[in-house]
Chains A and B, each alone.
Chain A
């Protein structure tokens, strides 16, 4: 897979709201893993602002809509 030049959008995790319920990690497995306490862990080490490729936008929108804690926002750059 070739490297994306620019992310299509950024998925922002509000850590004060996140409770590690794991829905986003199921929907975006290629971007998010889970740490030993269940909280989402960006595979590229990007912390709380996870860059997304265009192909991941739809899954990210689902994650935003389904997050039980409303902890996610999608930002177009």
Chain B
């Protein structure tokens, strides 16, 4: 039983991280206003939203399965308050931090029609903190964290996100950016 929970916890953690990577990259593509390799803009937005929702589903399974796994020694307080863990408190704390950020971002995204665009946007910026924190947690805390296959996967994700962020801050990022001389508020 413990073995199964352990495997489930590991596997879902890795999948959640990969989905999060996809979501971050597609979120940046959405912001650019451009289609992606034949995928129309509305599909990019849809996949961005769905991959983050799916990531949070995997995250829930990840946490719940490890909670019932005696080896991980998780307590309820570790879900929400970082750096109090019994084992590897720092690395586990990063996971807690990532979960808290994820919760805030998901809730404000689902409620964005009611809370207004400004709150939504400010909280959404925390994704740029969430993603590296989650990645660090997976490397430092995960039992696969330092295995070659995982590090290769992590490296690929880092390159992908780094390229996306570099593009994000480049001059030619926004579609029609060059045509728009009159900057709007």
Contacts and interface: CB of A to CB of B under 8 A. Distances in A.
In the complex, is A directly touching B at CB under 8 Å? yes
B179 interface: yes
A69 B121 CA distance: 10
Interface string A13-39: 000010111110011000000001110
A63 B30 CA distance: 14
A62 interface: yes
The interface centre, meaning the residue of A21, A22, A66, A69 with most chain B CB atoms within 10 A of its CB, is A21
Interface in B48-68: none
Interface in B36-54: 40-42, 45-46
Interface string A53-77: 0000000001100101110000000
A70 B113 contact: yes
Q: Is the interface of A mostly helix, strand, loop or mixed?
A: loop
Given A66-B45, A69-B117, A38 B180 contact: yes
B42 A26 contact: yes
Given A68-B30, A70-B113, A21 B41 contact: yes
A36 B179 contact: yes
Contact of B117 (A17, A20, A26): A17
Given A38-B176, A38-B179, A23 B45 contact: yes
Contact of B45 (A19, A20, A68): A68
Contact of B42 (A19, A20, A23): A23
Nearest to A36: B179
Nearest to B30: A68
Given A20-B33, A21-B33, A37 B180 contact: yes
A22 B46 contact: no
- A19, A23, A27, A69: most-surrounded residue (chain B CB, <10 A): A23
Interface of A: 17, 19-23, 26-27, 36-38, 62-63, 66, 68-70
14 contacts: A17-B117, A20-B176, A21-B33, A21-B41, A22-B33, A22-B41, A22-B175, A26-B41, A27-B42, A37-B180, A38-B179, A38-B180, A66-B42, A68-B30
Given A26-B41, A68-B30, A70-B112, 12 more contacts: A19-B33, A19-B184, A20-B33, A23-B42, A26-B42, A37-B176, A37-B179, A38-B176, A62-B42, A63-B42, A66-B42, A68-B45
